[in-house]
């Protein structure tokens, strides 16, 4: 008998789909002679992101001493061909329409949710207090970014475990949410596996990738 879907099982499948995509993009992008670091966390001091923190998918040092930071966009959201999914989480009714691990929008009925309500959750899954370095394993099990708007939390879960999404929904339920809908911010037609956000920065000859990240924003350590 096929097991009934749940948020936990869908999240785990979505994460595995994304990890396969992410690993393939990193392998295809980091060519011989190119130095690269994946999942690089920086403090951008940008109020648009929780804690002002952001994690680049990949930072490269090119042979001509240019550095680029890249963010990849996954092609197809997990569950695109599945019917809408719903389940109860305590007193909350959850609907999942699309689940793309790098582009999750959690709509809720709590209105203006204060950012500090998510502070502990974000710090734990972003791994704010853990040191980062060039020898970190892949995947690093780290959330890449999150932002809060009225009635919604937008998250790039990166390589964070599937439990991060399950915990977020439980947190909203504990604060009194009665209805939560999970969707993506990008339309399927807008997404291409080769799409990437690229920032090009000049490097001094003796700078390391850690140096360039520190110049862009203080490296988390």
Per-residue pLDDT of the chain (221 residues; tens, 9 = 90+): 456 678 999 999 899 989 999 999 888 888 777 788 889 888 887 888 998 999 999 888 777 777 788 888 886 644 454 556 889 998 999 999 888 899 999 999 999 998 889 999 999 999 877 766 555 667 789 999 999 999 999 999 999 999 999 999 999 999 999 999 999 887 654 444 444 444 444 445 555 544 544 444 444 33
pLDDT at 180: 96
Q: Model's pTM, two decimal places? A: 0.81
Q: Rg (Cα) of the chain, in Å, rounded?
A: 18
Residue that is written with structure tokens 């207090």 in the block: 129
- Beta strand spans in the chain (E): 35-43, 53-61, 66-72, 85-89, 92-96, 104-108, 145-149, 152-156, 179-183, 196-202
Contact between 134 and 30 (Cβ < 8 Å): no
How many C-alpha atoms does 170 have within 13 Å on its Cβ side?
Answer: 9
Q: How far apart are CA 83 and CA 96, in angstroms?
A: 9
Of 181, 179, 195, nearest to 99 by C-alpha is: 181
Beta bridge partners of 92: 89
Residue that is written with structure tokens 């092609």 in the block: 75
pLDDT at 203: 45
Contact between 6 and 87 (Cβ < 8 Å): yes
Of 33, 16, 19, 17, nearest to 138 by C-alpha is: 19
CA 185 to chain centre: 13
Tokens coding 89: 């989480």
């Amino acid at each position: 008998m096929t097991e009934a879907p749940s948020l936990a099982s869908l999240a785990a499948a979505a994460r595995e789909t994304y990890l396969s995509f992410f690993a393939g993009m990193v392998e295809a992008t980091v060519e011989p002679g190119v130095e690269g670091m994946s999942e690089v966390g920086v403090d951008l001091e940008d109020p648009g992101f929780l804690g002002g923190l952001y994690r680049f998918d990949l930072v490269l040092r090119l042979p001509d001493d240019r550095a680029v930071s890249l963010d990849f966009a996954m092609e197809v959201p997990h569950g695109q061909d599945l019917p809408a999914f719903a389940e109860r989480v305590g007193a909350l009714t959850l609907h999942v329409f699309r689940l793309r691990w790098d582009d999750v929008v959690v709509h809720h009925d709590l209105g203006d949710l204060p950012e500090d309500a998510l502070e502990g959750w974000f710090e734990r899954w972003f791994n704010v207090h853990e040191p980062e370095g060039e020898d970190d394993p892949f995947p690093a099990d780290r959330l890449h970014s999150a932002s809060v708007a009225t009635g919604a939390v937008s998250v790039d879960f990166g390589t964070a475990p599937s439990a991060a999404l399950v915990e977020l929904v439980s947190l909203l339920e504990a604060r009194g949410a009665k209805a939560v809908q999970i969707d993506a911010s990008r339309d399927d037609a807008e997404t291409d596996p080769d799409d990437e956000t690229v920032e090009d920065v000049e490097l001094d000859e003796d700078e390391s990738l850690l140096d360039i990240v520190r110049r862009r924003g203080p490296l988390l350590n």
